[in-house]
Structure 1
């Protein structure tokens, strides 16, 4: 694994708001970022738009399997309905790497209601599917895309990072801190159920109090 400062990060689902926001911030910090999508053309369109915003050329686009193959760290930022099918498409390219899963098990239309799959973690299910050869890390579920795309804005939301591999968790904590977020190693991957469920709670708060992006803070640490 390279030093994070030199990492190549593939963001699968980087054409969406959440994945796009994370990709933009990492590219802004100098990482080589590959936008992944179901088609290379759509991915490249998103990459071109980011390069125009950043005034550079560090972001490129590729179909998901190619993006994953070229990266040191892969970020899965697709809708819940596409989570497992996307993982199956890129599984061969994940061996020995870190997969950061941002998936939230939202089930429209009631996205402000917690609906965990079989009462468990959607991210933990991916680790079981891939086996021990891939280090799956859960993170970034509670960060609003509304804030991520504003590069000069301080984001008042902490990141809960869960993983069964402590070293992988710490690498993701560092990547989060690098883009201006407070991040915490929140324990094993099974604890991801908390972050996954919290997203529906935050959506409910946004709607009730008419705010664009509520978040969480860990205090007393």
Structure 2
């Protein structure tokens, strides 16, 4: 990989954020795990750093409060729960940043996981982030990747990362970063509005996981 990025992971103390931060740093990127408080982020960053001990070419991992994490970043990853999403995103200094959203608005009931309906079916978490931060460039990616596998021992996950967005250059960044997870570039899956399909599709994978006791992913044939 020729390009290395400085990445702020908002939600970096959660399983998805920590796992993606680990994978990015393992591939040589510099990562700052963001949290509402630096005191919470620091120990998780130390845990990831310890995991990377002995990995040749690994990037640095530090912890910081969200705004400080974003300050020096080239790329900001949103890996936060959907509850409180709008309030948090609106508060972040994201102007001018490439923002990757892997937020999945899901709900659970007796029948299992399902996608929430956002803006009457005409919206998604990624589109909401773009609307709230018009001076940022938002793409959607990494929605369907298992946090368990991200933190696992396998060098790479045997699946594809689907990337949606309206700005080609921003999608290229996310597609580059997909190599840290799958060893191959992500797949350009279309415009940002298609996050409306990608985000709730995670509920399908959760259902498959429950049925087959696995950690399913997405693999695209013919590309």
TM norm. shorter chain > 0.5: yes
Query: Contact between 2:42 and 2:62, CA under 8 Å: does it hold in 1?
Result: yes
- Alignment RMSD: 1.7
Deviations 1:168-189 (A, max 9, x none): 1011101112333542011110
Deviations 1:82-130 (A, max 9, x none): 322221221xx21111010110001244661222312132211111121
Which among 167, 172, 176 is matched to residue 174 of structure 1?
176
Q: Which runs of 5+ in 1 are unaligned?
A: none
Once the two structures are overlaid, the 10-residue window that deviates more, 113-122 or 45-54, is: 113-122
Report which of the two has the higher share of helix. Answer: 1
CA–CA distance in 2 between the matches of 1:168 and 1:122? 17
List aligned pairs for 1:1-221, cutoff 5 A.
4-5=3-4, 7-55=5-53, 58-90=60-92, 93-109=93-109, 112-117=113-118, 118-119=120-121, 120-131=123-134, 133-182=135-184, 183-211=186-214, 213-221=215-223
TM-score of the two chains, using structure 2 as the length reference: 0.90
Once the two structures are overlaid, the 10-residue window that deviates more, 54-63 or 121-130, is: 54-63
CA–CA distance in 2 between the matches of 1:109 and 1:194? 20
CA–CA distance in 1 between the matches of 2:103 and 2:84? 10
Q: Secondary structure at the match of 1:22?
A: helix
Query: Contact between 1:163 and 1:169, CA under 8 Å: does it hold in 2?
Result: yes
Shift in Å, 1:197: 1.5
Query: Contact between 1:36 and 1:43, CA under 8 Å: does it hold in 2?
Result: yes
Count matched residues. Answer: 214
Shift in Å, 1:25: 0.9
Query: Contact between 1:157 and 1:181, CA under 8 Å: does it hold in 2?
Result: no
Query: Contact between 1:25 and 1:151, CA under 8 Å: does it hold in 2?
Result: no
Q: Secondary structure at the match of 1:161?
A: strand
Q: Which runs of 5+ in 2 are unaligned?
A: none
Query: Contact between 1:44 and 1:62, CA under 8 Å: does it hold in 2?
Result: yes
Query: Contact between 1:28 and 1:54, CA under 8 Å: does it hold in 2?
Result: yes
